[in-house]
Amino acid sequence: MTTAEAFQRARRPEQKLQRQDAILGAARDLARRDGVRNVSLADIAARIGIHKSALLRYFETREQIFLELTAEAWRDWARALHAGLDGAPPGSAALVADVFAPAFADRPLFCDLIAHTPLNLERNVSPEAVRHYKLTSLGVVDEAAALVARVLPALTLAEAREFVATLASLAGSLWQIANPALALAELYASDPALAQACVDLAPRLRRTAEILLAGLKAAGGQGQSNCRAQPGPEPDPDRR
Amino acid sequence: MTTAEAFQRARRPEQKLQRQDAILGAARDLARRDGVRNVSLADIAARIGIHKSALLRYFETREQIFLELTAEAWRDWARALHAGLDGAPPGSAALVADVFAPAFADRPLFCDLIAHTPLNLERNVSPEAVRHYKLTSLGVVDEAAALVARVLPALTLAEAREFVATLASLAGSLWQIANPALALAELYASDPALAQACVDLAPRLRRTAEILLAGLKAAGGQGQSNCRAQPGPEPDPDRR
């Protein structure tokens, strides 16, 4: 479904899904090639061979397309965690770090999308789309936290969630630093004084994961802070 | 120097500095009010009452203005660290966390600028401007690391630098999450299922600082990874 003739307006539900998948695929390919920030709605439309207005029959905005890709990327990332940790015997923080670091570092698009999520959430996306995305991302973080808490029973679920959320946030920001534009990379490589500007993502994330897990084990038991005032009941940190 | 009549083209060096300061002041005010990402070159020029082309006599690009503000913000942040840690007796990770967390959280513009630095570095900024900015930021990180290593002698300088760099990266990404647009904040507040989307920056940074310090102490001694291949001599992790 990548030509104008083929991309006729969907009339049946399964056709609509096909059109949406084609759009997501085009956005995914372009973002991998050029970086999330450099992909416009017009780029996506041009890649499929349709006009922007046709594309907007299937998605609210460019940002909603990227939120959908991010939700999908979270789910794919979760599968990698399950593959690495489902059968794991309890006790090894090194194993958790060994699984989490490449789960991010092998998914550059996911890291790029994480970094752009605050921006994408704020631009012209409906409350429904925000809720749908957030419930997905929070649900996957919970799922990942449960895996970690099972492998490292010394941590509470809340501490495991803190680990996952912090590492994910870092993966996003460190990926950007680790993947500068070519001219910038050449500058860093040419000047020893700038060597510390370089970041190698996978070993850095692995080390930071180990440090966070060791720190949570040592400093644990003091709970975490979200909002000063939370609506609804207090979440139970040991809820499983 | 904020009206068109007053902002005549600078002819003497001290006038040039005054013009630059006026431009930086306008950019700073607008970024605090509207967020870094929402401030254009045209906005800055309009605030001073001049044309964009006049502004570009003093700065290369919009991004170079923001890099200059970021360098200035790093130096201001370092002063806060000195104020909190210069006379401190060795041994208290809690004190380091108590000083670092508000040093970021009380500087929302700094956090916003940190988050935008990868973007600003990549867009049409000369190698000289990049080098100038990077040497400032790396130098301040080194300065902060030296403070931490003095207060916590169990850490090497490299571990202290890891702490500072990681916390700074997190401050940038967490600030964005902690300060959503109004509509988004209202959505989160209205839906208990989204309560975990909320982040309260100061306590979260304080806790993460404690966790990182505890983890570095526990997991320390394994060195850090920057680039796979570094130009020039290996940096000495225990260099003081």
How high is the pLDDT of residue A226?
47
Q: Which of B180, B193, B232 sits opposite A122 (nearest CB)?
A: B180
Taking CA atoms, what residue in A is nearest to B230?
A195
Exposure of A104 in the CB half-sphere (CA atoms within 13 A): 34
pLDDT band at A171 (very low <50, low <70, confident <90, very high): very high
CA A197 to chain B, closest CA, distance in angstroms equals 7
Residue A174 in this model has a pLDDT that exceeds 80: yes
CB within 8 Å: A190 and B231: yes
CA A145 to chain B, closest CA, distance in angstroms equals 13
Size of the A and B interface in Cβ pairs below 8 Å: 176
- pTM exceeds 0.95 for this model: no
pLDDT band at B73 (very low <50, low <70, confident <90, very high): very high
Please check whether residue A196 touches B, CB under 8 A: yes
Residue B193 class from Cβ within 10 Å (0-12 exposed, 13-18 middle, 19+ buried)? middle
Choosing among A131, A141, A173, A177, which should be mutated to test the B contact, i.e. which has the most B CBs within 10 A? A173
A153: number of Cβ within 10 Å: 9
A83: number of Cβ within 10 Å: 11
pLDDT band at A147 (very low <50, low <70, confident <90, very high): very high
pLDDT band at A238 (very low <50, low <70, confident <90, very high): very low
Taking CA atoms, what residue in A is nearest to B231?
A192
Higher-pLDDT residue of A224, A125? A125
Higher-pLDDT residue of B154, A4? B154
How high is the pLDDT of residue B238?
47
Instruction: Mark which residues 163-192 of B lie under 8 Å from A by CB.
Output: 166, 169-170, 172-174, 176-177, 180-181, 183-184, 187-192
Instruction: Mark which residues 7-46 of A lie under 8 Å from B by CB.
Output: 37
List CB contacts (< 8 A) between B188 and chain A. 227
pLDDT band at B234 (very low <50, low <70, confident <90, very high): very low
Cβ atoms of residues A12 and A51 within 8 Å: no
Dihedral in degrees, nearest 10, Cα atoms B231, B234, B235, B237: 150
**Alpha-helical segments (H) within B123-200:** 127-151, 157-178, 182-190
How high is the pLDDT of residue B14?
86
Cβ atoms of residues A110 and A73 within 8 Å: yes
Higher-pLDDT residue of A236, A146? A146
Q: What distance, in Å, lies between the first and last C-alpha atoms of chain A?
A: 43
How high is the pLDDT of residue B159?
97
Cβ atoms of residues A215 and B97 within 8 Å: no
CA geometry: angle B226, B230, B233, nearest 5 deg: 115
Residue A66 in this model has a pLDDT that exceeds 90: yes
List CB contacts (< 8 A) between A170 and chain B. 166, 169-170, 173
Mean pLDDT within B177-206: 91
Cβ atoms of residues A157 and A240 within 8 Å: yes
CA B94 to chain A, closest CA, distance in angstroms equals 11
Q: What is the pLDDT of residues B116-150, one digit of tens each?
A: 998 888 877 999 999 999 999 999 999 999 999 99
Q: What is the pLDDT of residues A183-194, one digit of tens each?
A: 888 999 999 989
Q: What is the pLDDT of residues A38-49, one digit of tens each?
A: 999 999 999 999
Please check whether residue B194 touches A, CB under 8 A: yes
pLDDT band at B181 (very low <50, low <70, confident <90, very high): confident
How high is the pLDDT of residue A2?
52
CA A83 to chain B, closest CA, distance in angstroms equals 26
Residue A7 in this model has a pLDDT that exceeds 90: no
CB within 8 Å: B135 and A193: yes
How high is the pLDDT of residue A119?
82
Residue B2 in this model has a pLDDT that exceeds 60: no
How high is the pLDDT of residue B121?
85
Mean pLDDT in chain B?
89
Taking the C-alpha atoms of residue A35 and residue A28, their distance in angstroms, rounded to an integer, is 10
How high is the pLDDT of residue A227?
42
Lowest mean pLDDT among A21-25, A102-106, B1-5: B1-5
Choosing among A120, A176, A179, which should be mutated to test the B contact, i.e. which has the most B CBs within 10 A? A176
Mean pLDDT in chain A?
89
**DSSP per residue, B88-126:** PPTT-HHHHHHHHHHHHHT-HHHHHHHHHHHHHHHSS--
Cβ atoms of residues A169 and B173 within 8 Å: yes
CA A86 to chain B, closest CA, distance in angstroms equals 25
CB within 8 Å: A207 and B228: no
CA A84 to chain B, closest CA, distance in angstroms equals 22
Question: Maximum Cα–Cα distance for chain B, whole Å?
Answer: 62
How high is the pLDDT of residue B235?
45
Instruction: Mark which residues 52-91 of B lie under 8 Å from A by CB.
Output: none
pLDDT band at A198 (very low <50, low <70, confident <90, very high): confident
What percentage of chain A reaches a pLDDT higher than 70? 88
CB within 8 Å: B193 and A135: yes
How high is the pLDDT of residue B237?
47
What percentage of chain A reaches a pLDDT higher than 90? 74
What percentage of chain B reaches a pLDDT higher than 90? 74
List CB contacts (< 8 A) between B214 and chain A. 214-215, 218-219
Which two tokens mark A112?
A: 């790029």
